[in-house]
Structure formats: structure tokens, C-alpha cells
Amino acid sequence: MTSKSTVDFFKQKSVLVIDDCQMILNATRHMLIRNGCDYDNVYIVKDARMAVSACIARSYDFILCDYNLGKNSDGLQLLEELHKKKLIKEKTVVFVVTGEMSKSVFFGFSEFSPDGYLIKPINIDSVTNRLINCHRQKTIFQNITITHKNKGLDAAIALCNKYEKTSGMTYARAQLYINEGKEEIAQKIYIQLINNKNNDARIKLAKMLILQKKYPLALKLIEPIITDKKLRFSALQVQADCFLQQKQLKKSSEAYREMSAISPNNVERLLIQYNLALLTKDTDEVIVIANRIKNKIKYSIWNTVDISLIHARSLLYKAEQSHNTPGTLVQLGPLKVELNQSLKLIEKQFNLSHYQLHRELIICRFLLLSGDIKAAKRIWDCYQQEVPLADFYAYFDALQIQSVLGGKKPTLPETLIDSDQTLSQDFLIRQFLHLCKSKKESVAQLKSSAIALYDKNEHVSSVNQWLEIWKKSPFEVDTALSIIKGLSSAIPMSVPIENLRVVYQQANETITSQTEDYNLPDWFIATNKEVSNSFTALEQQL
């Protein structure tokens, strides 16, 4: 029989129950009502979309969320979305309901700090004390926060002392000192806990040290618990953060990889891994992570056009890397088929107008890879007339295209949240701009060398130099003119004739596509015809 105190407690409390099974929803509501909840204060929903709408409409004292929500989502994705959208109030008690308690479930949800787990079949009668205690504990902590805001540190500390025996109160006291900028006092509290064999305090102190940019100390602090099964996941998070902040990208990537092995469903972490794979030029990892993202994002908060197209971008990236590897032949036919299939799937899924702009950027990158300068420039010129996309990967596409075709530099999307994901994005941009600067300096030196060789009548060496420049920085008019002029003096037989023909055609297309912006030199028409005749004669001989 339910006690009067339990009935009184739940009488004014609101509860949101999320489960894909109507029978379980009805049974849970019945048990809650029997324990004192008012019928009108128990809200039941069957999927993630309904749950988000319910949380937008009002706040709740309790949320009971099932892990397996059927085809539309899972509880982990839902909890992530609710946190990202700040739809879970500080006072709300969140319990995850699951039929199993595997480590992937536990660690996956632990990143979003639920207050507890319930194993099916649940019996509300047996867990009411847990719900009540969690609610009272959260109320105490909320009151401490409010007291600190309204009355200051001393009043908040006095409240901590009043509830000294409440679980987690020592951490709350330490956090108050951190909020006041008195990290040295918080550090003493954590060290005392560590000396008393409280290893959770190592994680707390390590995170504080990260904020202070004391990365080596944070890493040293978590060394004793890196193999602790209970704390390994949190320790790996500290490692990953420290390595990333110090730009030790391979070590950070390895830490994130180990975290994903424990808890594989976190898309944000997969996006960081994807960015790190791009930064370290790990082509195989780029493809693997892109496929995982593709399989995980459906029905999640990350299911946007920009992120859904990561799979298509990974295919392009692999081809671009192979294209830059000497002796590697890129098969563009199969790539084109794969890209078209990937793009059609996304188009069917979203059917959004701005999807077209994402698609055009990807097609433009493919056209540059295939050497179709005219078509690529036509797309790029049209894109620059549109309102820029406020999506990171589309911006990165545009940045790469602009580095080849010129034009307006794309605008970086504004980011409101400072996180490891945005940090990895920032590193990507910085690395790319640095590579562009280095390439520009290298090309300038090569051009000087090529001109000097031509002036010395070392025409074969000069043409080879211009071919190298074209590979590094194609589709520039001055380089295209120099290649054609050089080929009129010497055709290097060390380069396959079909390769020379491709470069010659690309150089011609580059010049003809930009004749409005340039006055062609007087020698060009006659010299170009001479080179064309030379190629025809050579090909007939071969």
C-alpha cells in the first residue's frame, strides 16, 4: 500500500513517460497515478519527435525515457537532442529505462548525466524512493545555485554545510569556489578527496586543470585510473581533450577511437574523429568514420543536409588524395556512379531547396578533379551569387574550390558553442589555409626556376617545371600560357603523350574560359596552333 507521504509528494509532480509500447505506457501511467500522481500530470509519448514537442510545450519534474524507441530513434539520440536544445530543466530528474545494462548503454547515456537507470520490467512501487530522493537532492542543489546567485558565496556555502550528508555535496562546494574564481580552494577539496581514495575527484580536478590549460598535469592526474573499468571512459575523455588542445592529433584520434569502441552511438564524437582523420590525412579512417556517421545519424539531431553529405565528401576526398599521389590512377567513372547514388539518396530524404547548393559544391569539386574547368567555373560563378550556406562542411567545400578558381573568399559560419568539435573544425581550416600559403610560396619559387630555365634555352626542363606547377596549382592563366609557350619549344618525351595532351587541353580550357578577363598575347593563336599540330603528328607516329 502506498504511504500518504509518497502520495503527497507525487500529487503535484509532472511526469513524462517515453516508450514505443502503448501497453507499457498505460501500465506505467497507472502505477504513477496509484502512487499519487494526478492523471493530468502524467504525459505519455511513443517516439522521439513527440517527446521533443512535449518538452518544448512544458517542463517536467520527472522524465522516464526508454532506451529502445523503435524505428524512429533511440533514447540516447533523444536525450542528446533534448540537452543540445536545452529542453531539460536543471530540476528535472531523468531516468533511463532499458531491458539491458550493457556498457555501451551505460557509457552512452552517462555522457548526458541521467540520474539513474531502471531495468525492465519496472515496478514504480519499488523505485519511488529513488525518484523521491533524486528529486529532493536536485532541489537542494538548485537552491544552492539560486542562493549563490542571489545572496553570494557565504550563504551558498552555509547551505552546503546544512546538507553536508547529501551525496555529491563536496563536489557542489568545490564548484561554488570554481564559479567564484577561487580554483585553488576547489583544488584542495579535490586533492583531499583523492587522498581519501575517491578517484571520481581525479576526473573533476583534471577537467578543472584543462580549463586552466594545464594539460600535462591533467594527463598525469588520470594515469592511475585509465585502466579502471568504471572510470576509463571519463579518463579517455580527459586524454582526448588534452591531446586535442595540444594539437597532438594522432593521440587524440586514438583516444576518441577507444571511446567509440566503448560507446559507439555518439555522432558528435564521430564527427570529431572524422575531422581528425582529415587532419592526419588518414584516408582509410575518413571512409570508415564517414560510413559510421551515415549509419548513425538517421532520426538524430545531426541528420542535416551538411552532415548527411559527409559520405559523398569522403569519396571525393579519397579520390583527391589518390590524384595527388604519384603513379596512382584515379578511376573517375566508378566515383561518379557512387557520388550520384549518394546524392540521390540525400535528395530523396531532405528535398530542401538549399540542398541544391550543397550538391553543386560537391559536383564542382568532382569537375575540378576530372579537369573540366569550364563546367566547374560555371557552377562556382553561380554559387557566388547565392546567399552563402551557414554549414561548416559546405563552407569547407567552398574554401577548397575558391583556392583553385579564385573569386570571393567564403564566409565562415558563426559558432556559438565552444567544443572539441568546433576546435577540430578550426584546426581543419587553419591547416588548409597554411597549406595554401605554403603551396603559393612553393609555386612562386618553381615559376622563377621555370622562367630561368627557359631563358637558358633549357626548354625540356622548363616544361617539366611548368607541368609540376600545374599539378600543384592548376587552372591559372599565366601557368596555362607558359605551358603552351614551352610546349612550342620542347615536348618532354619522359611524360606519357596522353598525360601531356590532357594538360594541354586543360590549359586551353583555362585560357578560353577567362578570355574576358585577360588580353591574350599576340603570339598565342599561332603558337597554340603549332602545339596542336605537334601533338597530332606525335600521336600519328605512336
500: Cα within 13 Å, side-chain hemisphere: 23
Sign of the alpha-carbon dihedral angle for 150, 154, 160, 162: negative
Phi, psi at 331, each rounded to 5°? -85, 100
Distance CA 36, CA 214 (A): 51
In the prediction, which pLDDT does 142 show? 93
16, amino acid identity: L
Phi, psi at 367, each rounded to 5°? -65, -40
Q: Is 442 exposed, middle or buried (0-12, 13-18, 19+ CB in 10 A)?
A: middle
Distance CA 496, CA 503 (A): 11
Calculate the CA dihedral of residues 465, 469, 472, 478 and round it to 10 degrees: -170
Distance CA 237, CA 222 (A): 10
- Contact present, 312 and 364 (Cβ < 8 Å): no
Distance CA 207, CA 307 (A): 29
- Contact present, 313 and 397 (Cβ < 8 Å): yes
For 186, other C-beta atoms within 10 Å of its C-beta total 22
What are the cell numbers at 8?
A: 503527497
- Contact present, 125 and 35 (Cβ < 8 Å): yes
Distance of CA 393 to the CA centre of its chain: 9
Cross-strand bridge partners of residue 117: 96
- Contact present, 226 and 235 (Cβ < 8 Å): yes
499, amino acid identity: N
For 153, other C-beta atoms within 10 Å of its C-beta total 14
Angle at the Cα of 355 from the Cα atoms of 352 and 358, rounded to 5 degrees = 170
| Per-residue H/E/C for 284-303 | HHHHHHHHHHHHHCCCCCCC
- Tell me the Ramachandran region of residue 281: left when phi exceeds 0, alpha when psi lies from -120 to 50, beta otherwise: left
Q: Fold for domain 438-541?
A: 1.25.40
Domain boundaries, the chain: 1-122, 266-414, 438-541
Topology alike, domains 1-122 and 438-541: no
Q: What is the CATH number of domain 1-122?
A: 3.40.50.2300
Per-position pLDDT tens, the chain of length 542:
568 888 889 999 999 999 988 999 999 999 999 999 999 999 999 988 899 999 999 999 999 999 888 765 678 888 888 988 899 998 899 998 887 666 666 666 667 778 888 888 887 777 888 999 999 999 999 999 999 999 999 999 999 999 998 889 999 999 999 999 999 999 999 999 999 999 999 999 999 999 999 999 999 999 999 999 889 999 999 999 999 999 999 999 999 999 999 888 889 999 999 999 999 999 999 999 999 999 888 878 898 999 999 999 999 999 988 876 544 446 788 888 989 988 888 888 886 777 889 999 999 999 998 888 889 989 999 998 887 788 999 999 999 999 988 888 888 877 645 678 899 999 999 999 999 999 999 999 999 999 999 999 999 999 999 999 998 888 889 999 999 999 999 988 888 888 888 899 889 988 887 766 667 888 999 999 999 998 888 877 76
In the prediction, which pLDDT does 263 show? 85
- Contact present, 76 and 52 (Cβ < 8 Å): no
For 162, other C-beta atoms within 10 Å of its C-beta total 12
Distance CA 316, CA 291 (A): 14
Q: Output helix, strand, coil percentages for the chain, rounded to the nearest 5.
A: 70, 5, 25
Alpha helices, DSSP H, located in 280-391: 283-296, 305-308, 310-323, 332-350, 355-370, 373-383
| The pairing of beta strand 62-66 with beta strand 42-45 | unpaired
Of 441, 452, 360, 342, the C-alpha closest to 398 is 360
Between helices 267-279 and 310-323, what is the axis angle to 10°? 10
Distance CA 210, CA 459 (A): 58
- At residue 16, the 3 state secondary structure works out as strand
Give one DSSP letter per residue of 362-374, joined into a string.
HHHHHHHHHT-HH
Give one DSSP letter per residue of 95-157, joined into a string.
EEEES---HHHHHHHHTT--SEEEESSP-HHHHHHHHHHHHHHHHHHHHHHHHHHHH-HHHHH
In the prediction, which pLDDT does 328 show? 46
In the prediction, which pLDDT does 325 show? 55
| Per-residue H/E/C for 423-455 | HHHHHHHHHHHHHHHHHHHHHHHHHHHHHHHHH
Distance CA 517, CA 363 (A): 25
- At residue 45, the 3 state secondary structure works out as strand
Host H or E run for residue 533: helix 524-541
What are the cell numbers at 248?
A: 597532438
In the prediction, which pLDDT does 169 show? 94
